[in-house]
Structure 1
Amino acid sequence: MRDRLVVMSKRPPRGSDRDGEASDSPSTAGAGGRDWVLVVGLLAVPMAIVPVDGDLTIVSLWGFFNTAAPDAGAGIGGYPVWAYFLDQPRAFGSLPPSIRAWPLAIGFHLLAVASAVGGVVLGREDRRVTGGLLALAAAASLWVSVGLATRLGVGTTTGWLAVIPVGALATLAVVAAAYRADLRGIVER
C-alpha cells in the first residue's frame, strides 16, 4: 500500500499524459515553450500604419502616435485609446462599427496573452483557445484597419496602401506559425 501511495503522488512530467507518456494534446506547452513570447510581443505591434502626406500615424492597441503633432515639441504626439473613448462626446453605440471593434481587439489580445502566459506559469495551456483568441484578435484588428481605410478613402481618393493592417497580418502570422496545427485539429474532428 505504501508503494502505491508513492507512485500515485508523483506528477507526470510536463507535456505528458497521466501515464507519463508523451502527449500531442493541444493542452500542453507550446513548441519549446516560447510561443508565449510571440503572443506577448503582439501587444507592441501596431494595428495599422497610416502614411499620409509625408506624416506617419501609428494606430496601436493602446492609442495613436503621430509624427505631425502640431503641439508636440519633438514632432511626435500621442493620444491614448482610453482618452479617445473617455473624451468622445458621442455615445459608444453611435461610433462607427470599426471603432467599436477596437476594445474587442484589445480584449482578445489580452485574453490570448493570459492564456499563453498562464500556460507557462501553470504548465498547461489549451493552445486551441489561445489560437482562437488570436484569430479573433486579428479579425477585430483588421476590422479597425478597414474602417480607417474606408474613412480615408482607400482606393478612391488615396492609394491602396494608405492604411497598412500590420497588426492583423502579424497576428495571423503568429497563428499560422505557432497555433495552426492546434486549430486544424478543431476543424478535422
Structure 2
Amino acid sequence: MSVLGALLAIPWSVQVFAVGDATFLFAWGLVNTNPPSVTTLFDFLFVYTRGLPAYILAWPLSTLCYAAALASAAVGWRTGREDPRVTAGLLVVGAVAQFRLAWGFSVQPGRTAWPVASVAFLAVAWWGYWPVLRQSVGR
C-alpha cells in the first residue's frame, strides 16, 4: 500500500525540450522549469487548454486508474479482501495510458518525453501483485 501511495511523489512523465527546459507531469498537475510554474490537472484540462489532442486524455485516464488502484488496495488493507487482479489490472491500464501520453508528447518536434509512471506502475504491479496472481492461477 505504501509503495502504491509513493507513486504520487514521482513525476509520471518527464518532457525534455531541445532548448534544455523540462516539464514534470504528476498525477495532480505539471511543473514547468521555464518559467517556473505549477498547473493543476483541473486547470490544464478545463481552464487553460481548449481543443486538447486525444493523447492528452491519457493523463486523466491514468490518474483515474491510479486512484481506483489506490482505493482497491486501501479497501483490501482495511477489510483484508482485496482482489489483486483488479489492483494490478488498473496499474497496467494506467501504465499503458501514461505510455500513450509520453508517446504523444514525443512526436512533437524538439521534445522528448519519458514515461516514468509506465515503468513505475508496471514495477509495482509485478513486485507487489504478481506473486499473488501467480498463486491464484496455479490453483
Normalising by structure 1, report the TM-score. 0.66
Cα gap change, 1:99 to 1:186, in 2 (>3 Å): farther
What is the 5 A alignment of 1:148-163?
148-151=105-108, 153=109, 162-163=112-113
For residues 12-33 of structure 1, the C-alpha deviation after alignment (integer angstroms, 9 at most, x for no partner) is: xxxxxxxxxxxxxxxxxxxxxx
- Which 5+ residue runs of structure 2 have no aligned equivalent? none
Once the two structures are superposed, what CA deviation does each residue of 1:62-84 show, in whole Å capped at 9, x if it has no partner? 22101111xxxxxx211111001
CA contact (8 A) 1:132 1:183 kept: no
> What is the SS of the residue equivalent to 2:42?
helix
SS at structure 1 position matched to 2:8 = helix
Query: Which residue identity lines up with residue 177 of structure 1 in the other structure?
Result: W
2:114 corresponds to which letter in structure 1? I
Q: In the superposition, relative to structure 1, how do residues 126 and 169 fare at CA in structure 2: closer, same or farther (>3 Å)? A: same
Given residue 63 of structure 1, which amino acid in structure 2 is its aligned partner?
Answer: G
What secondary structure is seen at the aligned counterpart in 2 of 1:46? Answer: coil
Residue number among 51, 75, 100 corresponding to 1:118 in the alignment: 75
- Could you tell me how far apart the structure 1 residues matched to 2:132 and 2:85 are? 5
- Name the structure 2 match of 1:83: 43
- Which of 22, 34, 54 is the aligned partner of 1:56? 22
Tell me the distance in 1 between the aligned counterparts of 2:106 and 2:50: 23
Q: Give the corresponding residue for 2:100.
A: 143
Equivalent position amino acid for 1:120 in 2: W
In 2, the alpha carbon distance for the partners of 1:105 and 1:64 equals 14
Separation (CA, whole Å) in 1 of partners of 2:136 and 2:80: 22
For residues 138 and 186 of structure 1, the distance between their equivalents in structure 2, rounded to whole angstroms, comes to: 23
Give the helix-richer structure, 1 or 2: 2
Amino acid at match of 1:44: A
CA distance in 2, matches of 1:96, 1:139: 17
Distance 1:181 1:107, change over 3 A: same
The normalised TM-score by structure 2 is 0.87
Cα distance in 1 for residues equivalent to 2:86 and 2:50: 36
Structure 2 Cα separation of the partners of residues 102 and 187 of structure 1: 32
- The one of 107, 112, 120 equivalent to 1:170 is 120
Larger radius of gyration: 1
**AA partner of residue 33 (structure 2):** T
* Equivalent residue number for residue 2 of structure 2: 37
Is 1:182 the equivalent of 2:139?
no
Task: Tell me how many residue pairs correspond in the alignment.
Answer: 137
How much does 1:56 deviate?
2.1
User: Which structure features the higher share of strand residues?
Assistant: 2
Q: Distance in 1 between matches of 2:107 and 2:3?
A: 30
State the identity %: 34
> Shift of residue 185 of structure 1?
5.7
